[in-house]
Amino acid sequence: ALDKQDNPQLALVSDLRAALISGDQLELHYQTQHHPGSGELVGMEALLRWRHPKGGMISPGEFIPLAERHGLMAELGSWVIEKACAQQAHWQNSGMPKTTVWVNISALQLFQGDLETQLATCLERYQLEPSQLGLELTESVLLDERAGDMGPRLQALRELGYSIAIDDFGTGYSSLAYLNRFPLDALKIDRSFVNRMDDADQNGCIATAIASLAHDLGLKVVAEGVETERQLDKIRSLSVEYAQGYLFDK
């Protein structure tokens, strides 16, 4: 108790533990993904939000690092998978067309918990197909030695029907070696590159290079943070398969 008085972060960790127990403060928001040409809805990304009873909406950039440091990521990740599958089942029962909902997977989920078993249990409980749940991993997850050799595990997940994407490509280690080493389906171009794609600078060049590289490797491309018609036009010219951002829906 004395530590909490002197350290607001410790108090926030305690509140996060309580939020996981109660389950009524955490929320999943879904950002839609569209085909750049037709505008057709092709998927959604599940985004975790925390509505603190006193502090209001707390940014994931603030509480996710705390969850990682204090051993809460496996439990938090399990909550996200459970809620995303429940929402998918609700949409399916409501007659919505089948689309893929993408969830973010952390390194801690991969080496602390039994991710494969949890995925299978949720799909069976909610009568879903593996193709309805996509797994997003950051570059740092693939290179985290604590998770062991990721290749066989990712291959097994793909064989079961899950799609696997690399999130925020180009902002982390960006080791091109793992693109051949790991079985992947898609790369996501980070919003920091997309936001300036219509400018004649290196960011536009990087986004173009990422899309070209991905297509040469047989991977699909998702452009994040599309906010203007000019950016969308550029995305179309690169034959990017998926686009998401405020231009379509917040």
The pLDDT score that the predictor gives to residue 205 is: 83
Question: What does pTM read for this prediction?
Answer: 0.89
**Residue-level pLDDT, tens digit, the chain, 250 residues:** 545 455 777 888 889 999 988 878 999 999 999 999 999 999 999 999 999 988 899 888 889 888 888 888 888 999 999 999 999 999 999 998 889 999 999 877 877 668 899 999 999 999 999 999 999 988 777 766 665 677 888 899 999 999 999 988 877 665 677 788 888 999 999 888 888 776 655 567 888 888 999 999 999 999 999 999 989 998 999 999 999 999 998 7
Measured between alpha carbons, how far is 163 from 183 in angstroms, rounded to an integer? Answer: 10
- Pair 58, 50: CB distance under 8 Å: yes
Q: Are strands 163-169 and 186-189 parallel, antiparallel or unpaired?
A: parallel
Cα angle for residues 235, 240, 244 (degrees, 5° grid): 70
Contact 161, 189 (CB under 8 A): no
pLDDT confidence of residue 92: 92
Pairing of strands 56-58, 41-52: antiparallel
Note the pLDDT of residue 127.
Answer: 95
| Cβ–Cβ < 8 Å for 87, 64 | no
Tokens read off for 135: 């797994």
